[in-house]
Amino acid sequence: MAPAVKRRLIAAAMLAPFILGACGTAKEPAAPAAGTTVAAEAVAQIKAGDEHNDTDVMFLQMLAYHQEQGLRMTTTAIKRAKNPQLATLAQAIQATEKDELAMMRTWLEDWDAPTEVDQAPSLHADHGGLPGTGEAEIKALSKVKAASFDTAFLNLFLAHQHQAMEMSKVELTGGKNSEAKKFAERVQQSRQGEIQQMLQLMNG
């Protein structure tokens, strides 16, 4: 079995007991375990086509950078989370966002656009993007006391995923590429689901 497929199947099995489809990007509803695998495979198969504008490019660049940060944070959560449900959620988010990140980079390459975002804050102030989660905040997750980790992670990641939703709003308003706009809709839905689950963990 190919490593990528094996990873997706593991993610699906882990996801089923806790997350009811909130992290996936499948276009149609499905049973939780199967739906997650279908979503991962579907992401890899989506082609954006050639038609696009600057907003499409900016959205993908910003969200790719955003998800690189998210992968660092969820990696720390998988290692340090005290609540096993939080660790499971972090693993599910990571599996989804790795696939989304690969898809976004492929689209940008197909458009002959840079896959890295210009990090100058002035370029993104009106796009719901940078500045976002700070480097110091991400590093602090590795140093915070074990007893305080879950709360620190949830507070930081709630804001982080809210920012992804803000980026998606800009794409839905000003984007041109139909697949990028559909992706933005799925990002809004999945991140809202993740936010609801994180709030439940905080209040549990």
Highest-pLDDT range among 17-26, 81-90, 130-139 = 81-90
Task: Identify the pLDDT of residue 41.
Answer: 52
The more confidently predicted of residues 96 and 131 is 96
Task: Identify the pLDDT of residue 42.
Answer: 62
Task: Identify the pLDDT of residue 71.
Answer: 97
Mean pLDDT, the chain, as a whole number? 80
Task: Identify the pLDDT of residue 69.
Answer: 95
Instruction: Output DSSP code: residue 19.
Output: -
pLDDT band at 133 (very low <50, low <70, confident <90, very high): confident
159 Cβ contact list (under 8 Å, min separation 6): 133
pLDDT above 90 (res 68): yes
105 Cβ contact list (under 8 Å, min separation 6): 64, 115
SS3 25: coil
pLDDT above 90 (res 61): yes
Overall pTM surpassing 0.85 (yes/no): no
Question: In 3D, which of 48, 55, 41, 49 has the Cα closest to residue 12?
Answer: 41
Task: Identify the pLDDT of residue 18.
Answer: 39
189 Cβ contact list (under 8 Å, min separation 6): 22
What tokens were used for 71? 């992968």
Lowest-confidence pick of 16-20, 45-49, 109-113:
16-20
Q: 24 to each of 19, 92, 148, how far by Cα in Å? A: 10, 9, 29
Q: How many CB atoms lie within 10 A of CB 135?
A: 9
Q: What's the mean pLDDT in 34-53?
A: 68
Task: Identify the pLDDT of residue 2.
Answer: 44
pLDDT above 60 (res 64): yes
